[in-house]
Structure 1
Amino acid sequence: MALNDIDPSTPIWKLTVAEFLELSKNFSTDKKYEYGLKGLAKILGCSVSKASEVKSSGILDKAIIQNRNIIIIDKEKALQLFAKK
């Protein structure tokens, strides 16, 4: 069954499993942000110590917001900046 075939007024409990899974594909589970050095390491696919070195180098400063020990990283922007260097 195509997504367009599902009536928008149909209650969720009346959907079949296949219909529900088709609808759920449209919801992105990707987060826009990662947090902390572990999050940066996850974005870059490296160790936490290497992520700390990259952060300290300053090349990702435009993608990182830091207030004391809280670090928030914009994933897309960080990857763009990292690709330029």
Structure 2
Amino acid sequence: MQKLTNDTPIAMLTVGQLKEVLGTTIVTQTLSEEQKVEKRYVYGIRGIAHLFNCSMPTANRIKASGKIDGAITQIGRKIIVDADLALELAGRKIGGRR
């Protein structure tokens, strides 16, 4: 069996070698795409207002309602909000009429 290098022409590969090369490439690309997922954060009431496209008083009501508490980290006066989680929590229906 010949050793594969970057200079080996594709036409010279057997079906098994081609499958092996493609399999390792696909796995490598999948892993690198999963690592690229980064969390988005917004800061303060202004950040919440920008995220939900609303006014500052409405953003204050959203924060005070407790609906997005799972996405909020507050240390003193500093408010840090996980944007994707906040949008997901705000979209969930809790309670309501029967």
- Residue equivalent to 2:74: 66
Note the C-alpha offset of 1:43.
Answer: 0.5
**Runs of 4 or more off by more than 6 Å in structure 1?**
none
Q: How many residues align?
A: 57
Aligned counterpart for 2:50 among listed residues 42, 51, 73: 42
Unaligned runs of 5+ in 2: 1-35, 94-98
Unaligned runs of 5+ in 1: 1-27
Percent identical across equivalent pairs?
A: 40
TM-score by length of 2: 0.54
Cα distance in structure 1, aligned partners of 2:71 and 2:89: 8
- Residue equivalent to 1:7: none
Cα distance in structure 1, aligned partners of 2:47 and 2:92: 20
Residue type matched to 1:83 in 2?
Answer: G
Deviations 1:6-54 (A, max 9, x none): xxxxxxxxxxxxxxxxxxxxxx9x9710000000000101001100001
